[in-house]
A = this chain, B = another copy of it.
Amino acid sequence: MKYILGIDGGGSKTTAILADETGKILGKGRGGASNYQTIGLENAGQAIKFAAAAAVEQAAENLSVSWADLEGSVAVVAGLAGADRPQDRERLRAALLAQMPVNPIGLRVEHDALVALAAATGNKPGIILIAGTGSIAFGIDRNGRQVRAGGWGPILGDEGSGYFIGRAALTAVLWEYDGRGKPTSLTKRITSYLQVTQPDEIVPLVYQGPLQRPEIARLAEIVLEEAAGGDEVSCRIIADAADHLVKLISAVLSRLDWCEPGIPAAGTGGLLQPENMLWTNIAKALAGTHPQVVFAPPMLPPELGAVLLGREMLDTAVGQEEFIANLRWSIEETSQS
């Protein structure tokens, strides 16, 4: 039997999944952040190793598959945030090879958006739009050409992301307070959520206190709720975020060599849930301006993209469709257990 170790590493957590060559999931593990651009190569390697060890441990407990069984028979695929440039991937590859307790059949390092795209489309060409704490769109056309837009981080980009929406909410509250903005129900919701009595008390929370980027991104949930409740300012923030996310897809589309209809585009990330207001705004805009795009939820969760790419590295008799079906079935089973 051959095996696949799929790793999905991001700015806040790392997921590892151990599957066999049929797509059956044997173990799952989690570790801390593994974006080496922000935490360094050594910490990233440690987080990945920790997540991988947890996945193998779970497999050993339940199914008697251990590190020894993986020697010379496991393909490793890692989709890592911050692995944008070839030289980044080469450095990460070397670091992971040095840390891996077994010799893998192969080790492929990709950036996280490519792995999320494979998960979303079932390893077919198309576009992925990710809107979580950050934002990025990434596409691959039928010639294999890869194109990205966005993903430039909280200072230079992340337009339409959770951080973007959360920060816009804080700004809207301060704009109402200092006379620049319209009244908004966000003021009551956010001051109450942050337990402050006046809007200007938000300022030290952001610059000195506990309101860091992930906490600001989490405020996006409140904006979605207030927008659903009809608050005009919240609706404008969500509409603005949707515009930015559509622009990311447009930019990728315009650079891909793909004219005919039926381009699969998947939306994913903590913020982009089917049928919330952000989703419906994007779907409506795309239907109007890019009718050739089919906007839908991803086929598989992003962490299974790495496992799916791992199948290509094995000489397995199990075809891609069957492999995906097995992944879907066994991810549901392991989620329930």
Give me the interface of A with B, judged by CB distance under 8 Å. 37-38, 84-85, 147-150, 152-153, 155-157, 167, 170-171, 174, 178-180, 200, 202-204, 206-208, 247-248, 250-252, 254-255
Contact = CB atoms under 8 A, between A and B. Distances in A.
Contacts of A247: 180
A179 B37 contact: no
Given A148-B178, A149-B180, A150-B178, A156 B251 contact: no
A329 B197 CA distance: 48
A272 to B, nearest CB: 18
Contacts of A84: 200
B251 A178 contact: yes
3 smallest beta-carbon distances between A and B, as pairs: A179-B251, A149-B178, A180-B251
A179 B38 contact: no
Interface of A is mostly: helix
Nearest to A153: B207
Nearest to A207: B153
Contacts of A206: 153, 155-156
A155 B178 contact: no
Given A149-B178, A254-B179, A156 B202 contact: yes
A200 B152 CA distance: 8
Contact of A38 (B85, B148, B207, B251): B207
A102 to B, nearest CB: 33
B37 A208 contact: yes
A202 B254 CA distance: 23
Given A149-B179, A150-B178, A180-B149, A207 B155 contact: yes
A174 B203 contact: no
A109 to B, nearest CB: 18
A85 B197 CA distance: 14
Contacts of A147: 179
Contacts of A200: 84-85
A179 B203 CA distance: 35
A155 B167 contact: yes
A255 B248 CA distance: 39
Choose among A178, A202, A204, A255 the residue with the greatest number of B CB atoms under 10 Å from its CB.
A178
A34 B178 CA distance: 25
A245 B165 CA distance: 22
A104 B200 CA distance: 33
7 contacts: A37-B204, A38-B207, A149-B178, A149-B180, A153-B203, A179-B255, A180-B247
Contact of A180 (B156, B174, B248): B248
Contacts of A152: 171, 174, 203
A202 B84 CA distance: 13
Contact of A37 (B37, B148, B207, B252): B207
A216 to B, nearest CB: 8
Nearest to A170: B156
